[in-house]
Structure 1
Amino acid sequence: MEILASLRNGDHRLTKRMAAWDSVWARRVLPPVEEAAEHTKLWWAAAVIMAAGGRWRGRKAAAAGVTAMAVAELLSNGVAKKLVERPRPPKQWIPHDDVEDRPDSSSFPSGHTAAAVAFTAAVVPAWPWAGAACAVPAVLVAVQRVHSGAHYPSDVAAGAAVGLAAAALVRATPRLLIRHLP
């Protein structure tokens, strides 16, 4: 129990520290990242660009990314948030106005992070360069979720794990299906 209390205390301290981060960079970059990530708009746009400009490789990467993102959304928002009821970080910890624009759902896990990591991790094997380009906004989404007060860092870490699992599942599914065909 002492280990869990220590982890929880560290999670709370890091949440407060990241939410209090007040720099010009954070004020200019993170709000547009949040807007782009809402309803997975950022990842749909990336998929369209890859599919339109990347020939077969781009279409394959886009399809893998969108599929993994859908699986991650299902796992994080459709399953995990219903199983784990965790309140959002307390509003008094967040010293800026972003705290008023938070969802009412469970904080655990971060669905935005799950979608971002799933999309990115699924794109990398199909088109490494595009996956590397997607990694930058994926990291920014994860940082923004804590900075805005929507999530604890552990929620973001769990969302990243869900995203990686979704991408691995999407990558493994064709091989599993082929292996079990008569």
Structure 2
Amino acid sequence: MTGPAGIRGPRSWLDEVERVDLAVYRAIAATPTPRLDGAMRRLSQAANYSRLSIASAAVLASIGGPRGRRAAVLGLSCVATTATFVNLLVKPVGRRRRPDRAGAEVPAARQVDLPGSRSFPSGHTAAAVAFATGVSRVLPAVGVPLHSLAAAVGYSRVHTGVHYPGDVIGGALLGAMVADVTASSLSRRLALGESPVTWPSGPRSPGRSRQDR
């Protein structure tokens, strides 16, 4: 819709952004990458239920000393908070449908199972970025490879056809913001040696908070 002065309304801008989003998605789907397909499929599957973040946290806790343990706890706490926020609050509001992989002709060799949850935002990306953000608060140098891994996870979700690029960008922004708030509120408690999270019925994997697949 165009206003009296020729200024486009919000709906027009959103329509154009969505067209760009779809065009990029289709361009990636149409680009032959046989050597990359298997790696992206495996990476996307490895990120299910935040398994990559949990494995990284285990390594940090086992070889990183006290700071490594603090970083692991803070990172996983950020994952838990972000997964809950994204899946219980944002996805129901966004209500964006998953991409039409058949229509975009996404190669079968790169596909993973299409989740039944809403498309926006990418929960995998949000959780991976949240973990990297939380760990960076304690171990800044480790945050660099973790953010790189999060970026790769985000791209893998587009490459395998289960998310639009805009879903990944939105997930990354939300993951960073929620993790920043979470880390700020928990950092002081961690510094004092207090437990940042009280689990009501024993430990539970934070990545299983209905995170999309």
Q: TM-score, normalised by structure 1?
A: 0.90
CA distance in 1, matches of 2:143, 2:188: 24
Gaps of 5+ in 1: 178-182
Question: Which residue pairs with 1:54 in the alignment?
Answer: 64
**Alignment RMSD:** 1.8
Alignment pair present for 1:87 and 2:97: yes
**Identity over the aligned pairs, expressed in percent?**
32
Q: Distance in 1 between matches of 2:47 and 2:99?
A: 20
Aligned counterparts, 1:139-158, within 5 A: 139-158=151-170
**1:96 aligned residue (107, 113, 120):** 107
Partner of 1:180: none
- Are the counterparts in 1 of residues 53 and 131 from structure 2 also a CA contact under 8 Å? yes
| Structure 2: stretches of 5+ with no match in the other structure | 1-10, 190-213
* Stretches (4+) displaced over 6 A: none
Which deviations, in whole Å up to 9, do the C-alpha atoms of 1:97-138 show, x marking residues without a partner? 244611011001100000000001111121122211212221
Distance 1:44 1:142 in 2: 17
Letter in 2 for 1:111: G
Q: Deviations over 1:26-52 (max 9, x none)?
A: 223211211210111110000000000
Whichever residue aligns with residue 61 of structure 2, its letter is A
More helix by percentage: 1
TM-score when normalising by structure 2: 0.77
Contact 2:74/2:187 (CA < 8 Å) preserved in 1? no
The aligned length equals 177
Secondary structure in 2 matching 1:112: helix
